[in-house]
């Protein structure tokens, strides 16, 4: 088998395309990382070289190879406290603003989509308990959804590896987890506090059941979608949120590139997107 190499031009062409579609920018210092994964995918798909592979990636109707490639090029694993500046933003900026508009007794509702194995939803619950004193005055509902029922069962079980919890402050780990089966089991109180549900974000009828949320976390999901699916997801999030509600995306994702339905809000901790207060 001849050795597959990625030329400077190939790399440039690829990084321009990948950035345009995913919002992820590869600096030249990442060249080795990118080349290695590209070559892996060229071999895995039986392509004859970069040009052949790139044409397939670019024009494949199903988009399956795009998804496989994004999996290779991104960190798929999730863990507690991942991109924690957004949780800081939640408790320091977003929730205080929302709380100021809430009527007495009205709950705050947070939707995490995709749930994956639950780390994000549980991190939010812990953040609220530890970092948001106003929690004493509000009921908060956390709903965490995914299309994959197996991963939801895993989330409900709440058993995590050392790697998944390593970013948690030791005090929080001791307080909310216990050692079990070589890993860390999250406490029953938190497992009871998060509702895990199955939903397909790309099916508007399934999403119809989800309304009246104040905050949506949808991080590192839309990069996998094609343009039409992203637009549909943005439409769904608009309907899911109450007026003035917020949506938090992954660090490489931008709602402004997908839809003009939301406004950009720059908080000291993070940039998030807001459904306009007025109007629908």
Partner 1 sequence: MPLIKHIATASVPPALAPAPASAGQCDTALLDAPDAAVRRAAAHVLGDCPEAVPALLRALEQEVEQPVRSAVLAALGRTGSEEAAAGLASCLRSEDAWLRNAAIEVLRGLPAQVATVIAHLLVDWDRDVRILAVGILDTLRHDCVEEWLLQLIEADPDVNVCGAALDVLAEVATGAARAPVERLLERFRGEPYIAFAGELVLGRLARSR
Footprint of partner 1 (CB under 8 A): 5, 7-10, 13, 16-17, 20-21, 49-51, 55, 58-61, 63, 107, 109, 111, 125, 128-129, 135-143, 145, 189-190, 192-195, 197, 204-205, 208-213, 226-228, 231-232, 235, 238-239, 259-261, 279-280
Task: Write down the least CB distance from residue 124 to partner 1, Å.
Answer: 10
For residue 36, CA distances in Å to 3, 4, 72, 75 come to 12, 10, 10, 15
Alpha helices in 74-161 (DSSP H): 85-89, 95-101, 119-131, 149-157
Please return the burial class of 88, using the count of CB atoms within 10 Å of its CB with bins 0-12, 13-18 and 19+: middle
Dihedral over alpha carbons 190, 194, 195, 201 (to 10 degrees): -140
Task: Write down the least CB distance from residue 211 to partner 1, Å.
Answer: 6
In the residue annotation, 10 being an active-site residue is answered as: no
Q: Which is nearer to partner 1, 97 or 141 (by Cβ)?
A: 141
DSSP 106: P
User: Which one of the listed residues 37, 191, 231, 242 is annotated catalytic?
Assistant: 37
Q: What's the maximum distance between 2 C-alpha atoms anywhere in the chain?
A: 70
User: Which one of the listed residues 10, 15, 82, 146 is annotated catalytic?
Assistant: 146
Distance CA 241, CA 111 (A): 9
In the residue annotation, 37 being an active-site residue is answered as: yes
Q: Which is nearer to partner 1, 179 or 205 (by Cβ)?
A: 205
DSSP 107: P
DSSP H or E stretch at residue 184: strand 183-186
Task: Write down the least CB distance from residue 149 to partner 1, Å.
Answer: 15
Q: Which is nearer to partner 1, 171 or 209 (by Cβ)?
A: 209
Q: Which is nearer to partner 1, 60 or 149 (by Cβ)?
A: 60
Task: Write down the least CB distance from residue 272 to partner 1, Å.
Answer: 19
For residue 199, CA distances in Å to 99, 121, 148, 207, 210 come to 28, 16, 8, 7, 9
Task: Write down the least CB distance from residue 92 to partner 1, Å.
Answer: 18
Q: Which is nearer to partner 1, 27 or 137 (by Cβ)?
A: 137
List, by residue number, the catalytic residues: 37, 146
């Amino acid at each position: 088998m001849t050795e597959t190499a990625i030329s400077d031009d190939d790399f440039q062409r690829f990084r321009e395309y990948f950035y345009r579609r995913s919002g992820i920018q590869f600096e030249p210092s990442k060249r080795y990382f990118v080349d290695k994964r590209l070559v892996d995918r060229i071999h895995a798909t039986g392509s004859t070289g970069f040009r052949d592979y790139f044409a397939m990636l670019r024009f494949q109707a199903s988009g399956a190879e795009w998804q496989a490639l994004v999996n290779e090029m991104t960190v798929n694993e999730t863990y507690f406290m991942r991109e924690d500046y957004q949780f800081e933003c939640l408790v320091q900026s977003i929730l205080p603003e929302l709380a100021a508009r809430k009527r007495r007794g009205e709950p705050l509702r947070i939707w995490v989509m995709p749930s994956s194995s639950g780390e994000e939803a549980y991190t939010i619950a812990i953040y609220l308990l530890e970092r948001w004193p106003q929690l004493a005055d509000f009921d908060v509902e956390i709903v965490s959804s995914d299309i994959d029922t197996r991963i939801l069962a895993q989330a409900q079980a709440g058993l995590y590896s050392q790697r998944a919890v390593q970013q948690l402050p030791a005090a929080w780990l001791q307080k909310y987890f216990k050692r079990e089966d070589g890993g860390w089991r999250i406490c029953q109180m938190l497992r009871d506090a998060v509702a895990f549900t199955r939903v397909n974000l790309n099916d508007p009828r399934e999403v119809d059941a989800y309304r009246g949320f104040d905050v949506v976390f949808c991080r590192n999901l839309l990069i996998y979608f094609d343009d039409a699916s992203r637009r549909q997801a943005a439409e769904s999030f608009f309907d899911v949120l109450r007026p003035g509600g917020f949506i938090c995306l992954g660090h490489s994702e931008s709602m402004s590139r997908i839809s003009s339905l939301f406004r950009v809000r720059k908080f000291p901790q993070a940039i998030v997107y807001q459904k306009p207060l007025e109007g629908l």
